């Protein structure tokens, strides 16, 4: 097992304000900037402003759909060089979008898909020690290494639930049926579609976030829920319930993920390793 790269994760923008998603500093095309680590993105996204600044050649792309379900223009930039710590990487199949308004104030110039950072290595998003690591090794060696790093956590080895290019596992909100659920480091809340949790009565709808297009994400909340995954329970103090979510119809966000470690890879045959501070689930 070999650590290829190691760098700090932060949650503070250039304006000093706290952001909900993990950030790393990287040099993209030679320009140092903040980048969001988003396991809910199946592609690397850079802002048009950064693309113009570093002189990327752009081709017209298809309209994209963000978390709010809104469409937005995009351009294809192909492969873009990036350096994280002392490691040179390539952002393949990079898409360029107009800069979301919150990105400008925070000094953020893009979103990287952590599971696609390296063609062979594992990506470790450590939300206990706030570190990003790229690690080479087999499943057994990675599991032993991360268990030694955080013996206080329970290690889950979870099969990938689909081939969508994002980190999707199987989980359930008690007492409802297990279903594909996105592990989303870019998401503010843990959210489920109302059709997946039909007996829950949410509070009045409100704005609970926004997509990169700037469109609102709307939903209500239900308190004191439990997520069941891999035979263990995770507390969800405020579950967001939405109508018409794009598949998958559930996601775990950054209200639940801090204090855990998410380990993922580009190879979809590899499991998702997730270390969580939980107890075995109780019957019922």
pLDDT per position as a tens digit, 209-243: 766 656 678 889 999 999 999 999 999 999 999 99
What's the CA gap between 92 and 51, in Å, rounded?
A: 14
Question: What's the pLDDT tens digit per position in 146-198?
Answer: 999 999 999 999 999 877 899 999 999 999 999 999 999 999 999 999 999 99
**Structure tokens, 38:** 């988003």
What's the CA gap between 71 and 98, in Å, rounded?
A: 12
Count other C-beta atoms under 10 Å from residue 252's C-beta: 29
- The 3-state DSSP class for residue 62 equals coil
Count other C-beta atoms under 10 Å from residue 246's C-beta: 12
The dihedral region occupied by 214, where left means phi > 0, alpha psi between -120 and 50, and beta the remainder, is: left
**What b-and-e string marks burial along 154-184, b requiring 16 or more CB atoms within 10 Å of the CB?**
bbbebebbeeeebbbbbbbbeebeebbbbbb
What pLDDT was estimated at residue 64? Answer: 65
pLDDT above 90 (res 79): yes
Phi, psi angles (nearest 5°) of residue 217: -105, 125
Mean pLDDT, rounded, for 17-42: 97
Strands 154-158 and 272-276: antiparallel
pLDDT above 60 (res 284): no
pLDDT above 70 (res 67): no
What pLDDT was estimated at residue 71? Answer: 74
Task: Say if residue 95 is exposed, middle or buried (CB neighbours under 10 Å; 0-12, 13-18, 19+).
Answer: buried
Domains of the chain: 2-122 (2.40.70.10), 138-276 (2.40.70.10)
What's the CA gap between 68 and 85, in Å, rounded?
A: 33
- Average pLDDT score, the chain: 93
Quickly state the pLDDT bin for 141 (edges 50, 70, 90): very high
DSSP letters spanning 244-265: SPPSSSEEE-TTTSTTSEEEEE
Task: Say if residue 96 is exposed, middle or buried (CB neighbours under 10 Å; 0-12, 13-18, 19+).
Answer: buried
- DSSP assignment letter at 16: S
Q: Which of 173, 202, 13, 175 lies closest to 109, judged by CA? A: 13
pTM of the model: 0.92
């Amino acid at each position: 097992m070999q650590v290829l790269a190691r760098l700090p994760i932060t949650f503070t923008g250039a304006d000093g304000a706290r952001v909900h998603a993990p950030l790393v500093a990287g040099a993209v095309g030679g320009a140092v900037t903040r980048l969001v680590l988003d396991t809910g993105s199946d592609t690397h996204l850079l802002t048009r402003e950064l693309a113009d600044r570093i002189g990327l050649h752009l081709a017209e792309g298809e309209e994209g759909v963000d978390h709010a379900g809104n469409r937005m223009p995009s351009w294809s930039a192909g492969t873009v060089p990036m350096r994280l710590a002392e490691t040179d990487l390539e952002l393949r199949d990079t898409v360029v979008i107009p800069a979301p308004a919150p990105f400008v104030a925070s000094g953020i110039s893009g979103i990287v898909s952590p599971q696609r950072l390296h063609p062979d290595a594992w990506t470790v998003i450590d939300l206990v020690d706030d570190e990003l690591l790229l690690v080479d090794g087999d499943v057994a060696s990675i599991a032993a290494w991360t268990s030694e790093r955080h013996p206080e956590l329970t290690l889950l080895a979870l099969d990938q639930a689909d081939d969508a290019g994002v980190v999707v596992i199987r989980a359930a909100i008690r007492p409802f049926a297990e279903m594909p659920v996105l592990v989303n480091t870019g998401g503010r809340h843990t959210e489920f579609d109302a059709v997946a949790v039909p007996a829950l009565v949410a509070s009045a709808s409100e704005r609970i976030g926004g997509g990169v297009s700037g469109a609102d994400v709307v939903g209500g909340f239900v308190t004191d829920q439990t997520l069941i995954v891999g035979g263990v329970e995770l507390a969800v103090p405020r579950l967001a319930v939405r109508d018409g979510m794009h598949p998958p119809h559930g996601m775990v966000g950054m209200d639940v993920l801090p204090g855990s470690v998410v380990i993922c890879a580009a190879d979809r045959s590899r499991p998702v390793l997730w270390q969580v501070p939980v107890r075995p689930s109780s019957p019922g």
